[in-house]
Homo-oligomer: A and B are copies of this chain.
Amino acid sequence: METVAENRSFGGVQGVYKHASDTCGCDMTFAVYMPPQAAEAPVPVLWYLSGLTCTHENAMTKAGLQEHAALHGLAVVFPDTSPRGEGVADDEAYDLGQGAGFYVNATRDPWKPNFRMYDYVLTELRGLVTENFAVQDRHGITGHSMGGHGALTIAMRNPDRFQSLSAFAPIANPTQSDWGRKQLSAYLGDDEACWADHDATLLLEDKGWQGDILVDQGGADQFLDLLKPDALAGMMTRRRQPGTFRMQKGYDHSYFFVNSFAGDHVAWHAERLH
């Protein structure tokens, strides 16, 4: 693991690191914020998964999570959203290939060799973070848009590995959306039975979540048709899933929305992880 940059931030350290990923078969860059409390004792970890077109950097610089993580004593990990590089498959569209890993393990070519973001986040990067940073084995997970999809699906499939869960404007029902059908078919093939494990609404129906879930959705989000928050909110109600679904009046899909509610989400995770 190589240190790309470390900057002091709110009394802690915002770092960017690079490593050769076995899972993805390429170099991967990620960011970790370590709060000041970590100098005294290991802290719980909040995973923040980013959306389409993002790298580790967008949320690190725009979401404003550090201030709240420093207040509450949480580490925050910002993974990249896909494998990258010249030898890695790509597509001209912004929503397929590099920058659009969808947090699945691809089973179809040309994606299969590298696009394994599910295993990468859940296992390889988690191991690397555990080994190299002063963190407890207490993990919360959140994310925005495609990253909200990743957070919800990874957590519901691995309830033993996460103790808290939230999402910002998640892609909530990808098997029924153009943000989903295109990518799941490309990465996993046309058998839609294989897609259900990567659809938050279907997973919620099938498994639910052990704890309570916080979801924020902008009421003026320009992508409501693609995100399908109605499906998730409806299933939360029908399933009697403990949690809070908030429709936030006037907010769109941007980082200004994420930033506005970052404090609430960090506090939510801190209450459940400490």
Which residues of A does B touch, CB under 8 Å?
A: 7-11, 14, 61-62, 64, 66-67, 218, 220, 248, 250-252, 254-257, 259-260, 263
Among the listed B7, B62, B64, B257, which residue makes an inter-chain contact with A8, where contact means beta carbons less than 8 Å apart? Answer: B257
Tell me whether A256 and B8 are in contact (CB under 8 A): yes
Taking a contact as CB atoms under 8 Å apart, the answer to whether B8 and A252 are in contact is yes
For A251, give the chain B residue with the smallest CB separation.
B8
Query: Are A256 and B218 closer than 8 Å at their CB atoms?
Result: no
What is the count of identical protomers in the complex?
A: 2
* B7 adjacent to A254 (CB under 8 Å): yes
Of all chain B residues, which has the CB nearest A254? Answer: B7
Closest chain B residue to A62, Cβ basis = B61
Nearest 6 A/B pairs, CB to CB: A7-B256, A9-B256, A8-B250, A8-B251, A10-B260, A64-B64
- Decide if B66 touches A259 in the complex (CB within 8 Å): yes
Q: Are A8 and B220 in contact (CB under 8 A)?
A: yes
Bound-state Cα–Cα, A251 to B12, Å: 10
Q: Enumerate chain B residues within 8 angstroms of A7, measured Cβ to Cβ.
A: 252, 254, 256-257
A255 to B61 Cα, complex, angstroms: 8
- A260→B62 contact, CB < 8 A: no
24 A-B contacts, Cβ less than 8 Å apart?
Answer: A7-B252, A7-B254, A7-B256, A8-B220, A8-B248, A8-B250, A8-B251, A8-B252, A8-B256, A8-B260, A9-B256, A9-B257, A9-B259, A10-B259, A10-B260, A14-B256, A61-B61, A61-B62, A62-B62, A64-B64, A66-B256, A66-B260, A67-B67, A67-B260
Residue from B11, B61, B260 within 8 A of A9 (CB atoms) = B260
* Chain B contacts for A61, CB-based, 8 A: 61-62, 255
Q: Please name all residues of chain B whose beta carbon is closer than 8 Å to the beta carbon of A67 when the two chains form the complex.
A: 64, 67, 259-260, 263
